[in-house]
Amino acid sequence: MAAPADQYRARLARLDAASDTLSRRDAHLSYARLVVFLAGALLAVAGWRGALSLWWLTVPTLLFGVLVERHDRVIRARAASTRSIAFYARGLARIEDRWAGTGEPGDRFRDDRHPCANDLDLFGRGSLFELLSNARTRAGEETLAAWLTRPAAPDEIRVRREAVTELAAALDVREHVALAGAELRASVDTDGLIAWAEGAPLLTREWLRGAAWGLTAAVASAAAYALASGAWGPVSTALVLVALFSIPQRPRIQQALHAAGGPARDLDVLAHVLDALERGRFTAPRLAALRTGLSTAGVPASAAIRRLHRLVELHDWQHNQFFAPLAASLLWGTHLAWAIEAWRRLHGAHVGGWLRTVGEFEALSSLAAYRYEHPDNVWAEIVEGPAQFEATAVGHPLLPAARMVPSDVRLSSDTQLLIVSGSNMSGKSTLLRTVGINAVLALAGAPVRAERLRLTPVAVGATLRIQDSLQEGRSRFYAEITRIRVLADMARGPVPLLFLLDELFHGTNSHDRLVGATGVLRSLLARGAIGLITTHDLALTAIADILAPRAANVHFADRLEGGEIHFDYRLRPGPVTRSNAIALMRAVGLDVDQE
């Protein structure tokens, strides 16, 4: 089987060639439409002057309609080709570690109250969400964000993995999902869409619909009679009746038509995803369950959505200055408004379910893309029992593979706490983020960057990005102890806590820091929590002796060569024995010579 990068490059080459061909067809059809339109205009002038029968206009009219239809297909095909190119180009960027800043960062999901989202870079530029998300709808993004911030139960993780494994191999299906309109990505107003779909009917008197069809038939018959006989009196009478009928209804008709515009465009995005799900023949239980029940009265959800989209497109024809008079004469908008209302009655109650289905399918597709593009990543082994996180060669998924240095981490009932010491910039905080983000991936049902990872269900909490707040009058130390109180409450919950505490209590003096840190950690360990803390204060390494055998020291080392500090980012047993702070000060030009 070809490597993912090679597969993507081969498909990109084919798509680029197809896009060039479609661009040429687009230009040819544009010229052909112009020529036929001009020919029709000349025939209309000749017919108006009596040189030709007006029936000759049917030839360019029909030909123009055929060209419009074909041109529309070419334009849609070229747009789909462009989106497919973008799909593979971004996938290649992810494989080559060029993805940061190219996708949706998910900034709207940031939550300062979440116990680890900001600390682990789950959202924002260069975040885990940006790396993973291929969602084209707001529902898909919301589902993926929920999976990253709320750990799943083991049974749910297993079901997601089965679906992700099947979708990872289904490259054509995932490409089809990506064909949702890029200009509408994430723009689906979920609440507004459901409110429209399930809202009260705007047109209720059915007899008016029948009357409208009768008047349209009368206008068409009168026009045909006039063309054959030259008598235009019946046409005038029919048009007067149309005006008397339509004017009182105009406000509600316009309301029904305009209210459907936004929902139809939003639903058109969903149709691409639903179509991929409907076409698939899936064996994974979750995918099969999502596929079941997508039809309404025997009509597939994607087909129902396309019918609504077509109705709205037909309404847009009224905005054409040449077609508008004919549309008004035939009560075009009235018929479309009634058709849209009928659509709502038949399918409206199912829209909420479609949104949930699309959201979950897109989230699974996003995880599947990550699985396909990172074949060296593994599935974590989810186990029961006391809290545990045991990883071999675990690395940070947001770091380029060329710069990522893996580490072995062992946390269990035997060793619940690792005290990570080391110099500034040596890799302490990165290790904490590596542990936390891989736990998030594992508990979302995604592969992890490690040779092996074995863990129990845990609730992750961290203090890596605690900040003071001038507006709230809150110091960093107060913000830190407030967060730690939240983590202490989490440790009392039904799921063990995995805590990641960066430079614990560094905003206070060494004595209070040691006493406070020892007390807090002893309390967390007594509640079955596991975790890591970092420090460059060597006094805190004594905690390992105080809390032995449940705690152990590990460290990152550095070396000074030629006036420059070098790090190898290798995790070693025991506490660090030297500091590089003075050397760093000198390296940036500070005068720290002792007198």
Residue 560's DSSP bridge partners are 565
Taking the CA atoms of residue 41, residue 47, residue 51 and residue 52 in that order, the dihedral angle to the nearest 10 degrees is: 100
Confidence of residue 468 (pLDDT cuts 50, 70, 90): low
Q: Which of 20-24, 51-55, 189-193 has the lowest mean pLDDT?
A: 51-55
Encoding tokens for residue 436?
A: 């936390």
Query: How do residues 205-222 score in pLDDT, each as one tens digit?
Result: 888 889 989 988 998 898
CA distance 207 to 300: 29
Contact 367, 530 (CB under 8 A): no
Question: Which residues, 6+ apart, have CB-to-CB distance to 159 below 8 Å?
Answer: 284, 285, 286, 445
Question: Which residues, 6+ apart, have CB-to-CB distance to 303 below 8 Å?
Answer: none
Q: How many CB atoms lie within 10 A of CB 175?
A: 18
Could you please report the per-residue DSSP string of 460-499?
A: EEE-TT---BTTTTB-HHHHHHHHHHHHHHHHTSSS-EEE
Residue 564's DSSP bridge partners are 561
What average pLDDT does the segment 25-52 reach?
Answer: 85
Q: Specify the pLDDT at position 183.
A: 47
Query: How do residues 238-264 score in pLDDT, each as one tens digit?
Result: 888 888 988 898 899 999 988 888 888
Q: Specify the pLDDT at position 151.
A: 96
Q: What is the pTM of this model?
A: 0.84
Burial code (b: 16+ CB inside 10 Å, e: under 16) for 342-351 equals ebbeebbebb
Q: Specify the pLDDT at position 405.
A: 93
What average pLDDT does the segment 103-108 reach?
Answer: 93
Q: Specify the pLDDT at position 588.
A: 63
Q: Is the pLDDT of residue 188 over 80?
A: no
More confident residue, 290 or 589: 290
Confidence of residue 272 (pLDDT cuts 50, 70, 90): confident
What average pLDDT does the segment 436-442 reach?
Answer: 98
Contact 407, 399 (CB under 8 A): no
Q: Specify the pLDDT at position 319.
A: 77
Could you please report the per-residue DSSP string of 278-300?
A: HH----SHHHHHHHTT-EETTEE
Q: Specify the pLDDT at position 557.
A: 86
DSSP character for 201? P
What average pLDDT does the segment 29-52 reach?
Answer: 84
Angle, alpha carbons 411-415-416 (nearest 5°): 65
Q: Is the pLDDT of residue 592 over 70?
A: no
Confidence of residue 558 (pLDDT cuts 50, 70, 90): confident
More confident residue, 43 or 483: 483
Average pLDDT over the chain, rounded to an integer: 88
Q: Is the pLDDT of residue 233 over 90?
A: no
Encoding tokens for residue 303?
A: 């087909």
Confidence of residue 59 (pLDDT cuts 50, 70, 90): confident
CA distance 454 to 442: 10
Confidence of residue 236 (pLDDT cuts 50, 70, 90): confident
Q: Is the pLDDT of residue 114 over 50?
A: yes
Specify the pairing of strand 389-394 against strand 452-455: antiparallel
Q: Is the pLDDT of residue 540 over 70?
A: yes
Q: CA-CA distances (angstroms) from residue 507 to 374, 485, 553?
A: 40, 16, 22
Provide the residue type at 213 as one letter.
W
Q: Specify the pLDDT at position 473.
A: 46
Query: How do residues 285-295 score in pLDDT, each as one tens digit?
Result: 999 998 887 77
Q: Specify the pLDDT at position 328.
A: 86
Query: How do residues 476-532 score in pLDDT, each as one tens digit?
Result: 788 888 899 999 999 999 999 999 999 888 777 777 888 888 999 999 999 999 999
Query: How do residues 126-178 score in pLDDT, each as one tens digit?
Result: 999 999 998 888 888 999 999 999 999 999 999 999 999 999 999 988 888 77
What is the residue extent of each domain of the chain? 1-96, 182-361, 381-587
Query: How do residues 386-432 score in pLDDT, each as one tens digit?
Result: 999 999 999 999 999 888 999 999 999 999 999 999 887 888 999 99
Q: Specify the pLDDT at position 51.
A: 76
Residue 417's DSSP bridge partners are 531, 551
Considering the four listed CATH numbers 2.30.38.10, 3.50.50.60, 3.40.50.300, 3.90.1560.10, the one that applies to the domain covering 381-587 is 3.40.50.300
Encoding tokens for residue 585?
A: 């000060």
Confidence of residue 474 (pLDDT cuts 50, 70, 90): low
Q: Specify the pLDDT at position 585.
A: 67
